[in-house]
């Protein structure tokens, strides 16, 4: 299949300066319409119109190429007109500026996302609290064990007051 070519120069979309986003949009649109509006080869045309003479087929093919080329130009011009009318260029420039500002702002960068930092800090503090609570429970358990031992030892030992009375008599 042959592709019809358009002689239209690349136009700036929506007015304003030619931003990268504008040129990407323009290029993408032109590629899309070129793939949609393709001309057929002379062989395909001859096959489709086999009952026509060679001269008629040749004329029909030239006419078809002219129509496709004209259609390309009209669609591109209409696209350009719609972009100017709806101020696509201005909107794309605004988007580009916002993206640039976002990339320059350390609070919005992926490297220092505030919400991630808050969440990480909260999780670390929760983990630390759980660890300290566990340590406190262990210490309380050890303290209870020591108190129980002391109490057991007091119960097993004879009364100190009785020993002291015997010692005084001696």
124-157, pLDDT tens digit by residue? 989 999 999 999 999 999 999 999 888 888 888 7
* Residue with token string 């029909």: 60
- For residue 96, CA distances in Å to 18, 21, 147, 166 come to 12, 7, 71, 99
Helices 20-36, 54-85: axis angle to 10 degrees equals: 150
In this predicted structure, which of 57-66, 97-106, 132-141 has the lowest mean pLDDT?
A: 97-106
pLDDT band at residue 1 using 50, 70 and 90 as cut-offs: very low
Six-digit token pair at 29? 């649109």
8 Å CB contact between 43 and 61: no
Among the ranges given (42-46, 123-127, 155-159), the one the predictor scored with the smallest mean pLDDT: 155-159
**What is the Cα gyration radius of the chain?**
44
Which alpha helices (H) appear in 42-113, and where do they start and end? 42-48, 54-85, 88-104
Could you tell me how many helices (H) and strands (E) the chain has, helices first? 6, 0
| pTM metric for this prediction | 0.46
pLDDT band at 52 (very low <50, low <70, confident <90, very high): very high
pLDDT exceeds 90 at position 83: no
pLDDT for 82 beyond 60 = yes
Q: What is the mean pLDDT of residues 36-55?
A: 85
pLDDT value of residue 158: 63
- With cut-offs at 50, 70 and 90, classify the pLDDT of residue 56: very high
Structure tokens at 150: 């002391």
Q: What is the pLDDT of residue 144?
A: 92
- Between 85 and 160, the more confident residue is 85
- Cα 110 to Cα 57: distance, rounded to the nearest angstrom: 62
Q: What is the rounded average pLDDT for all residues in the chain? A: 79
Q: Which comes out higher in pLDDT, residue 104 or 49?
A: 49
């Amino acid at each position: 299949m042959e592709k019809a070519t358009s002689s239209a120069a690349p136009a700036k979309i929506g007015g304003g300066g030619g931003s990268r986003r504008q040129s990407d949009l323009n290029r993408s649109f032109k590629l899309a319409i070129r793939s949609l509006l393709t001309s057929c080869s002379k062989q395909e045309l001859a096959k489709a119109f086999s009952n026509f003479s060679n001269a008629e087929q040749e004329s029909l093919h030239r006419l078809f190429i002219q129509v496709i080329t004209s259609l390309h130009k009209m669609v591109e011009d209409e696209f350009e007109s719609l972009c100017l009318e709806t101020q696509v260029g201005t909107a794309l420039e605004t988007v580009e500026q916002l993206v640039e500002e976002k990339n320059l702002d350390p609070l919005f960068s992926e490297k220092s996302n505030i919400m991630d930092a808050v969440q990480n800090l909260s999780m670390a503090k929760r983990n630390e609290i759980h660890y300290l609570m566990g340590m406190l429970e262990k210490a309380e358990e050890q303290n209870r064990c020591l108190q129980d031992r002391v109490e057991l030892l007091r119960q097993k030992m004879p009364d100190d007051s009785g020993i002291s009375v015997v010692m005084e008599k001696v």
